[in-house]
Structure 1
Amino acid sequence: MGSYYTYFNTAGGPPAVTFSVPYYDLFGLSVVVSGCLPVHHYSQLKGVVCIDRSVSDLLSDVTYFNKGELNYAFVLDGEARVLTHPLLPRPQTIRDDPLFIRLTSLERSPQALDVMTSMIRGESGNSTFVSPRVTSRGDTALQRVDVRHVLSHYFWSPVARTHFSACVVLVDGAVSVRSVVDTSRPPPFVYHRLDLTSPPHTCRHFDRVVLAGASAVKFAPTAFVDPYEYLDTEETKTTVDRYELYMSGRNSFVETYFTDGLRESVTETFRLDAILAARPAHYAIWRYIGTKAGVYRQFPGTRLRKEFDHTQEPWYKRSISMKGMTSLSTPRDDPSGTGTIVTLSHSIYQGRPSQVHSSSDPVTAVMGMDVTITFLYQQLLDSYPECSATDKTRDYCCRCFLIDNSGFIIIHKHFLDYISSEHTTNVHISVKEPVITQDLVTKNIMTQATCVNVQELRDQYYWKISLPGSANGSLFTPSYTLLDVPGTNVFVVIATGPAPALPVTCSWCDTKTDLRLCSEHRCNCPCFRRTDIYGYCNDKFFLKT
């Protein structure tokens, strides 16, 4: 505590609250900020009184800012250190003292320096200029991001009696999603906490207790006026009863808990029940819809983890980034325990009377469906008969598999031999098919991109696959065929030769870590390199333009 006394004993002037930099709490609770005030008696320092406040709680309004598709907010302190920003991890996910990053390391437009300078001077202001927007391509750690530049409006103002300043960034012409559904006759509402509500019609679905032929609703933190309070408070039967009374229009007690338009979003998504009940899909594990307003409805309904936030799931992010297209995920373990699954998802635009949409329209929700990899592989064989044909003269079959536009394998024949996440999750084409990979790289169809992870101080390398317009959605070679599936993130590969073994020099690609440390050998799997982009002594990042 010596630093507190040394500072306040020499600070002079009228007493004012001094805020610390965010740090990880001694007891491991969360990242906190300390607000401290000196106690003087006859001009002599007698002590220091402090209070700790969780950064997640303090900045929840900014962290969960959800007003428009590409709009966001951020907060700086008086030294231009960014406390929360969409390009940084959410405060509640940090498990160590955070690395402080200045705004100009995240906002790379030249005009961002003027915004930062004004904010640290404690001024209010606004400015308009073109700035980049970063959207995740799914699993951000492996598939990385897409960047587009849009005309943006910056509005900033200081936070009274602190050295913090907040800024809201709005895209030019952005339209907020608004519901116009009639809520005067609300539909039945069932919350996902079946253990607290005990609904009468339940059954077993893959060893889970579910609603029989009906969906259940789970709220994301963005659905609440105070997201941190929701995450930090245990739900009880009384809480759930209040939710149900409010959603059914019989009580307004919890209205101040929820954001505007939430009840309309619940009513809108109820239509899903009738659609799915009329179209049974025995091959589907789960079917669901997640809205921008924070409503997640799953069919059939079952209990979910409280921390589950559909807006942070790769399938949701991927569909937001690929508006108007159908996307397939790579295999993953179902959190409900049903095994290894693949997710099919598609974005839903805000309704228009003409029913004609464009990629500039706002997305109101994302629909998804989980299927087993066995079912998906059978669909592949049914769609491409040559995949199940045997070449009797050479004693092997055509190998058919699916990859996404980042080069990760969605389904492969070998996956059926070992149906587990250990052998099917995050498998890159460079691991299973290194010769095809090298040919794709040589033909400039599979190209490498890079980005900087400023929080972990490393350069991350990833891959993008795209066929040139002149190829008409296909590539034919003597050893394999690459086919683009229109309107999706998927490519079909039909290989006509045996799969060669992975070169010894690239064996490190097959490790099961989330991201590999790049090898000194020439290998084509996603990886990262540690980089010296941060000067600790002068607290500054050295980033390329």
Structure 2
Amino acid sequence: EDVKPVAIAQPQALPLTLNHLNSKNNLPIYHLPGEDYEEYYTTIDLMYHRLDLLAGRDASNLCRYFRQIATFEAAILFLSPLAFESPFTFLHNNRISSSQSQLHTIESILAYLKDTTGLLANPGLRPQIRQEVNALYNAMQHLKKRHQDARGSLKHYIIRRYIASVNGVLQVFPGCLLNNNYDPAQRLWYRKALQHPGKIITTEPYLDAGGSGYIITIAHTIFEGKSNALHSIERDQPVAIVALDLPYAYFYKMILDSTPLCQMLNIKCLLFENEGYLIAHPSMLEPKSSL
């Protein structure tokens, strides 16, 4: 008997839109249209950033990426203290305890985020965080696809891509282990992007904690979704920041390749950011001596 293929309707992508601001703390609350997105929640392929807890349990998808334990199978999720109703909940979840206890806490958080029944108790997250994780996941799927595209000219140079919301949700690909004290809102790329909404910002070179050497971060703000795709930097508030890391030597090479003047004899090009920090210098391409 012939088996006829059956078309399965895929859940619609979750839009990154806002409804209103929370009057209590003036934080954006993500808004979902009237459609049913229950199926969408169950398809989320996110791992919590504590990959070290999986080392003896489900380590088949883990690898070493520079000096970090990592995975190329999925993005990781990190929730800062801002994502919780009480900062004490965040501290309690990250206190020194048994690996089994921490793993149980993580499983409770992920189960709540993927729950479609409404029967699971909220493990202390702000009410809007569940929808926000899903909205950022939709954007991360696009970033992940771009990262895995073998045709891109930057495929060998982009170290990682990430997206952080103003409510304390961070997703990173390739997935990696982060320090529990990490706070996206305190990072230079996050603060500079919010200081210059609507513009592409670049940090000065800094040493990557993940072991990839000196890097620069390029970041840009994301505004709420609107049907006419028009935004006013003066009136609209950013809802997230998207960023990527590049080796700083390759960043300088990109500048040279795109600026004919810098390729002329006896011409040296330097690049400074708006606060006077040196971002690009010819010495970036010179081999370092061991002496």
TM-score, normalization by structure 2:
0.77
Q: When you count strand as a share of all residues, which structure comes out higher?
A: 1
Deviations 1:94-127 (A, max 9, x none): xxxxxxxxxxxxxxxxxxxxxxxxxxxxxxxxxx
Deviations 1:240-299 (A, max 9, x none): 111121111067555150001111111111123431333233211111000012110001
Residues 273 and 324 (structure 1), Cα distance of their counterparts in 2 relative to 1, 3 Å cut: closer
Asked if 1 retains the 8 angstrom alpha-carbon contact of 2:80 and 2:168, the reply is yes
Cross-structure match for 1:156: none
Asked whether 1:370 is paired with 2:227, we answer: no
2:74 to 189, 203, 214: 214
Report deviation, 1:323.
0.6
Asked if 1 retains the 8 angstrom alpha-carbon contact of 2:144 and 2:173, the reply is no
1:398 to 251, 267, 270: 267
Cross-structure match for 1:184: 38
Deviations 1:492-529 (A, max 9, x none): xxxxxxxxxxxxxxxxxxxxxxxxxxxxxxxxxxxxxx
Looking at structure 1, the residues matched to 211 and 51 of structure 2 have their Cα atoms a distance apart, in angstroms, of: 17
Larger Rg: 1
Residues 268 and 328 (structure 1), Cα distance of their counterparts in 2 relative to 1, 3 Å cut: same
Which runs of structure 2 are paired with 1:509-528 in the superposition (5 Å)? Answer: none
Q: Secondary structure of 2:257's partner?
A: helix
Cross-structure match for 2:63: 203
Q: Structure 2 counterpart of 1:316, which letter?
A: Y
1:270 to 137, 147, 150: 137
Residues 325 and 290 (structure 1), Cα distance of their counterparts in 2 relative to 1, 3 Å cut: same
- The count of aligned residue pairs is 246
Asked if 2 retains the 8 angstrom alpha-carbon contact of 1:194 and 1:302, the reply is yes
Looking at structure 2, the residues matched to 361 and 252 of structure 1 have their Cα atoms a distance apart, in angstroms, of: 36
Residues 68 and 411 (structure 1), Cα distance of their counterparts in 2 relative to 1, 3 Å cut: farther
Looking at structure 1, the residues matched to 125 and 86 of structure 2 have their Cα atoms a distance apart, in angstroms, of: 8
Report deviation, 1:207.
3.4
Q: Secondary structure of 2:275's partner?
A: coil
Percent same amino acid among aligned pairs? 27
Asked whether 1:225 is paired with 2:85, we answer: yes
Q: Structure 1 counterpart of 2:108, which letter?
A: R
Cross-structure match for 2:276: 407
TM-score, normalization by structure 1:
0.42
Looking at structure 2, the residues matched to 368 and 190 of structure 1 have their Cα atoms a distance apart, in angstroms, of: 19
Structure 1: state its 5+ residue gaps.
Answer: 1-66, 72-167, 391-396, 420-545
Structure 2: state its 5+ residue gaps.
Answer: 1-19, 148-154
Deviations 1:61-101 (A, max 9, x none): xxxxxx969x9xxxxxxxxxxxxxxxxxxxxxxxxxxxxxx
Asked whether 1:247 is paired with 2:113, we answer: yes
Asked if 2 retains the 8 angstrom alpha-carbon contact of 1:231 and 1:306, the reply is no
Q: Which has the higher contact order (CA 8 A, sep 6+)?
A: 2
Report deviation, 1:400.
0.5
The alignment's C-alpha RMSD in Å is 2.5
Q: Secondary structure of 1:190's partner?
A: strand
Report deviation, 1:228.
2.9
Q: Structure 2 counterpart of 1:201, which letter?
A: N
Residues 175 and 195 (structure 1), Cα distance of their counterparts in 2 relative to 1, 3 Å cut: closer
Asked if 1 retains the 8 angstrom alpha-carbon contact of 2:46 and 2:74, the reply is no
